[in-house]
Chain A
Amino acid sequence: DTGVSQNPRHKITKRGQNVTFRCDPISEHNRLYWYRQTLGQGPEFLTYFQNEAQLEKSRLLSDRFSAERPKGSFSTLEIQRTEQGDSAMYLCASSPGGLGYTFGSGTRLTVV
């Protein structure tokens, strides 16, 4: 097992375009998390899944953001009509439950 994998590593997009990121968690982990980290700040919680169920969403997750985990394995995070303020590092993490997050290396989004 190679840990939590995120693709792409970097994404540059024009304002107004839609983007989608993928996260492949550690295979035996049933919980998956998305965080966003902007420059000079710590990671901020966006949402989490237990298996395929999305159990909590942050107010940061506006209606332009949607996350899915259709079969309880990999997850996608889509941002529609991107804005410059969406530029950030998007981090995915997984855990078997309770404490013990393992983070991926993140997807860096730049909106120009």
Chain B
Amino acid sequence: DQQVKQNSPSLSVQEGRISILNCDYTNSMFDYFLWYKKYPAEGPTFLISISSIKDKNEDGRFTVFLNKSAKHLSLHIVPSQPGDSAVYFCAAARWHNFNKFYFGSGTKLNVKP
């Protein structure tokens, strides 16, 4: 049973516009959420995270929003750039066990010039 879900396999956005990637989770025990970016032939790289005590975290062009009541988080990229084209994975973990992440299936973002 997948506890972290990304229901959009792909997203296409024009350069300069906002990209919004969504993620839902089912386990209310998750305390920490992360986004990873993956280019072809490379391993995932950490992008941004948020703990359950916050509802927003911002880092440059990237902002993650957390809605605990809806068990939903989203990643906003503004403005989107062609170099952002990659697969984005949402992941979740529990405070007592940061050694095990639960990943979603990923969303492939294509930013068109």
Q: Which residues of A contact B93 (CB under 8 A)?
A: 99
CB-based nearest B residue for A4? B43
| Contact, CB under 8 Å: B100 / A42 | no
Interface size class of B (residues with CB under 8 A): 20 to 34
Question: Number of A interface residues, CB 8 Å?
Answer: 25
Q: Could you give, for residues 28-48 of chain B, a 1 whenever the CB lies within 8 Å of some chain A CB and a 0 otherwise?
A: 000010101000011111100
Select the stretch in A11-19, A66-74, A75-83, A102-110 that faces chain B. Answer: A102-110
Min CB distance, A1 to chain B, in Å? 15
Which one of B98, B99, B105 contacts A42 once the chains associate, using CB atoms below 8 Å? B105
B54-109 CB contacts (< 8 Å) to partner A = 89, 91, 93, 98-106
CA of A91 to CA of B49, assembled, Å: 21
Contact of B100 among A45, A50, A105 (CB under 8 A): A45
- In the complex, the chain A residue whose C-beta lies closest to that of B42 is A105
Q: Mark A45-72, 1 if CB is under 8 A from B, else 0.
A: 1001010000110000000000000000
| A21 contacts B by Cβ under 8 Å | no
CB distance from A23 to the nearest CB of B (A): 11
Q: A56, B43: Cβ atoms under 8 Å?
A: no
A48 CA to B99 CA in the complex, in Å?
7
* Distance from A82 Cβ to chain B, minimum over Cβ atoms (Å): 22
How many angstroms between the C-alpha atoms of A42 and B100 in the bound complex?
13
A43-B89, A43-B101, A105-B42 known; 18 new pairs, CB 8 Å cut-off, are A4-B43, A35-B103, A40-B105, A42-B4, A42-B6, A42-B89, A43-B103, A44-B103, A48-B99, A55-B99, A91-B43, A93-B43, A99-B32, A99-B98, A100-B46, A101-B46, A103-B45, A104-B43
Closest 7 CB pairs of A and B: A42-B103, A103-B43, A48-B99, A43-B103, A105-B43, A45-B100, A103-B44
Residues of B within 8 A of A (CB): 4, 6, 9, 32, 34, 36, 41-46, 49, 89, 91, 93, 98-106
- Point out residues on A near B: beta carbons under 8 Å: 4, 31, 33, 35, 40-45, 48, 50, 55-56, 91, 93, 98-106
